[in-house]
């Protein structure tokens, strides 16, 4: 004869029993700064696990510096050393503003993978994934700047403004690069694929960097070309970086760069946030 054992009836869970489980106070909701820094750390971890992302930060600046110095230095300035003093601040500007394009490409890749849909569902400050990604990229700009300056010193570049002038120029360049990145962030929310973001970004940045005073003095250009170069924001940025590195402080130009940086965020920041909020 089979014996059956009855399961003991479980006691009902009461509200008081549930409250007794929770000990202490509920942790505070993280603020905008904390969440943005967390997403910035995520961007740095991606570099750690995918170091190939640093190719544009390392190889391109080295290639452009060596190529333009030794191919065109003698023809443009009479000697490679004389041309290097003019070229290196410009290459520093070009390297950083070109690196900013990777911001949009990376964000678009995350969007296509559905990562940003998960971020938007989190109970955090809504812009923090975007701001954090941009903050993480500031480290990439810093690495690129260090590589260009170190290579220049090895080749014979000697900034008359000393260490203070170099540091100030890099800080101003990082501020402008961060603000410019909002343009590519906006494009990453409009265009459908990372390749599209890369193509449009290159179409914008190549004229801006080459039709400027990065490589040659605009005085050698035709009048109509000089007019185009003078209104190019990259020209003003290169003038400021070059001036600070060589001991002069172009106050008017510094103000122009800061105003243009604020305008970039003021124009593209709100548009980016509207697109991010309505992204489906």
The more confidently predicted of residues 49 and 87 is: 87
Instruction: Report in angstroms the alpha-carbon separations of 37 from 31, 108, 132, 157, 252.
Output: 10, 20, 6, 35, 33
68-90 residue pLDDT tens: 888 888 888 888 888 999 999 99
- pLDDT of 183 > 90? The answer is yes
> By the 8 A CB rule, do 92 and 248 touch?
no
131-182 residue pLDDT tens: 888 888 888 889 889 999 999 999 999 999 899 999 999 999 999 999 999 9
Residue 274 to residue 259: CA distance in whole angstroms: 23
pLDDT of residue 1: 46
Q: Band of the pLDDT at 107, cuts 50, 70, 90?
A: confident
Q: Band of the pLDDT at 20, cuts 50, 70, 90?
A: low
């Amino acid at each position: 004869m089979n014996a059956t054992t009855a399961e003991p009836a479980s006691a009902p869970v009461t509200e008081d029993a549930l409250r007794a489980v929770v000990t202490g106070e509920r942790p505070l909701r993280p603020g905008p700064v904390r969440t943005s820094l967390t997403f910035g750390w995520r961007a740095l971890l991606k570099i750690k696990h995918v170091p190939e992302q640093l190719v544009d930060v390392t190889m391109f600046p080295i290639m452009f510096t060596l190529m333009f110095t030794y191919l065109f230095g003698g023809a443009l300035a009479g000697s490679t050393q004389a041309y290097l003093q003019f070229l290196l601040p410009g290459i520093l500007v070009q390297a950083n503003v070109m690196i900013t394009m990777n911001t949009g490409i990376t964000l678009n890749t995350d969007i296509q993978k559905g990562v940003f849909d998960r971020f938007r569902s989190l109970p955090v400050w809504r812009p923090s994934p975007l701001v954090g990604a941009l903050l993480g990229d500031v480290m990439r700009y810093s690495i690129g700047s260090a590589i260009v300056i170190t290579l220049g010193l090895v080749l014979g570049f000697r900034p008359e403004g000393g260490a203070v002038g170099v540091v100030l120029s890099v800080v101003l360049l990082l501020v402008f690069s961060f603000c410019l990145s909002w343009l590519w962030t906006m494009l990453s929310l409009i265009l459908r694929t990372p390749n599209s973001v890369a193509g449009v970004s290159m179409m914008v940045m190549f004229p801006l960097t080459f039709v400027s005073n990065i490589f040659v003095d605009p005085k050698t250009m035709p009048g109509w070309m000089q007019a185009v170069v003078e209104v190019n924001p990259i020209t003003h940025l290169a003038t400021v970086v070059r001036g600070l590195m060589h001991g002069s402080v172009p106050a008017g130009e510094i103000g122009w760069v800061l105003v243009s940086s604020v305008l970039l965020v003021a124009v593209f920041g709100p548009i980016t946030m509207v697109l991010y909020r309505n992204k489906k």
